[in-house]
Chain A
Amino acid sequence: DAGITQSPRHKVTETGTPVTLRCHQTENHRYMYWYRQDPGHGLRLIHYSYGVKDTDKGEVSDGYSVSRSKTEDFLLTLESATSSQTSVYFCAIGGRRTEAFFGQGTRLTVV
């Protein structure tokens, strides 16, 4: 299995609080992705990174920011969590010339 881990696995937070999710990979992949999964919408891209300090927005980026200071780590931050950001978040690597590998997912509940 590819080495990609997410933390935390579960989190409950209050509306308006900041939240940071971490994705760590040991595969030295250049590209890393954050997706959210919601019933009726499937998986949607939030942000992605194509290298250290190089990031770009996906289709549902409003309310989220990311940072990548090292190849192995990709952080997703909700600056001020809202109930609409309750979701399951997946980090992923690979997908073009290799299989795609996903982290275990983070279930975030904003109350």
Chain B
Amino acid sequence: KNEVEQSPQNLTAQEGEFITINCSYSVGISALHWLQQHPGGGIVSLFMLSSGKKKHGRLIATINIQEKHSSLHITASHPRDSAVYICAVTEGETSGSRLTFGEGTQLTVNP
């Protein structure tokens, strides 16, 4: 079992829909990251969370430390949101700041 599990693996939505991607982890963490990767592209950080909730434009990320669960929400989805979304965690204090990754969620938003 992977230390970081994402669901769903693939998600297809119509433009305008509200989207949720989930991430569960099994280790103690100091931070959780949501990353975005467009096809053939680099990896961009969307959020870093250690508690609570953050919002950037149409993107919202939440984390529940007790339940070891995080969600990424996209409101009013748009075709340009089509990408792979990756959840990653920074484990406890002894592991530096290296990341452990989920396998990613492929999101396709159709016009």
Q: Interface on B for A, CB 8 Å cutoff?
A: 30-31, 33, 35, 42-45, 48, 86, 88, 90, 96-99, 101-104
Q: Are B97 and A43 in contact (CB under 8 A)?
A: no
Q: Are A104 and B33 in contact (CB under 8 A)?
A: no
Q: Are A100 and B48 in contact (CB under 8 A)?
A: yes
Interface residues in A, total, Cβ within 8 A? 26
A101 adjacent to chain B (CB < 8 Å): yes
Q: Pick from A31, A40, A43, A48: contact of B101, CB below 8 A.
A: A43
The majority secondary structure among interface residues of chain B is: strand
Q: Are B98 and A99 in contact (CB under 8 A)?
A: no
Q: Are A103 and B42 in contact (CB under 8 A)?
A: yes
Q: Pick from A40, A41, A45, A101: contact of B98, CB below 8 A.
A: A45
As a 0/1 sequence over residues 34 to 59 of chain A, the CB contacts with chain B under 8 angstroms (1 = contact) are 01000011111100101000000010
- Cα distance A104–B37 in the bound complex, in angstroms: 11
Please give, as numbers and ranges, the residues of chain A lying within 8 Å of B98 by CB-CB distance: 31, 33, 45, 48, 58, 95
B12 CB, nearest partner CB in chain A, Å: 19
